[in-house]
Amino acid sequence: MHLLERQSRETGRDYALRTVKENIITLELAPGSQISENELAAEMGLSRTPVREALIELARVKIIEIYPQKKSVVSLIDCDLVEEARFMRSVLECAVVELDCQLATPASLEPLRQNVLLQNFYLDSYYPETVRELDNQFHGILFDIARKPEVFAQIQNISIHFERVRSIALSTVKNNKIVEDHQAILDAISQKDIPQARALMAGHLDRYEIDTDAIREKYPQYFK
């Protein structure tokens, strides 16, 4: 398991939750793999209680299956849950880009421009995990511009189903369209073109469906 750096003032539960989520998304903890509360606690230098609380939180969104007196299991990919997460993100993020078209200023759009430049750089060299992190940051900036940062924070749990598929897709298929989408979304917001921004965002969040066959072919054991 890849250990993240613990942030200042981060509780043990929050650190455990963030670390386990990231390892599930990046497939360090692959679908179907067993995880031990004791082993996780030892690796992260925590007591069992915050780790247990983190696993319970992840079980609530059905990404972890907890079996009493046994090791927990990382859930296999459930396409219905992935679709629910995509639907939720599509509804919220289409609304967010509409707000961005109304609220964005040249200064607030600059972080998006810098982000897209970095995405192009890392896409050329192809560091899929860095591209995924920058992709997530891009969407977070959109919520910041719309003055809805807490909404973005709240959707991260259920989005883990979608994020895991997106992470696999980036590792399986080098999809230049993702960065092209971001540039087009940025251009539409800059031009305050609400219909175009909404249409582009909806299409962008549908792209995981294009990769499903390739992912299933390479990792059939990851799916229900």
**Domain presence at residue 4:** no
The CATH number of the domain holding residue 42 is 1.10.10.10
| Domain of 25, in residue numbers | 12-74
In this structure, is the dihedral angle defined by the CA atoms of residues 81, 84, 89 and 92, taken in order, positive or negative? negative
- pLDDT (mean) for 26-51: 95
Render 62-89 in DSSP notation, one character per residue. Answer: TSEE--TTS-EEEPPB-HHHHHHHHHHH
Please report the pLDDT score of residue 211 as a whole number. Answer: 64
**Domain presence at residue 38:** yes
User: Which residues fall within 8 angstroms of residue 148, CB to CB, at 6 or more apart?
Assistant: 96, 99
Last residue of a domain, one of 74, 90, 111: 74
57 with 91, same domain: the answer is no
Entry pTM? 0.84
**Domain presence at residue 1:** no
pLDDT digits (tens, 9 = 90+) for 171-200: 766 567 888 999 999 999 999 999 999 999
The CATH number of the domain holding residue 128 is 1.20.120.530
The number of domains in the chain is: 2
pLDDT digits (tens, 9 = 90+) for 99-150: 999 999 999 999 999 999 999 888 777 677 788 889 999 999 999 999 999 9
Render 100-139 in DSSP notation, one character per residue. Answer: HHHH--HHHHHHHHHHHHHHHHHHHHT-HHHHHHHHHHHH
**Domain presence at residue 42:** yes
Last residue of a domain, one of 74, 92, 114: 74
Secondary structure tally for the chain: helices H, strands E: 11, 3
Last residue of a domain, one of 49, 74, 99: 74
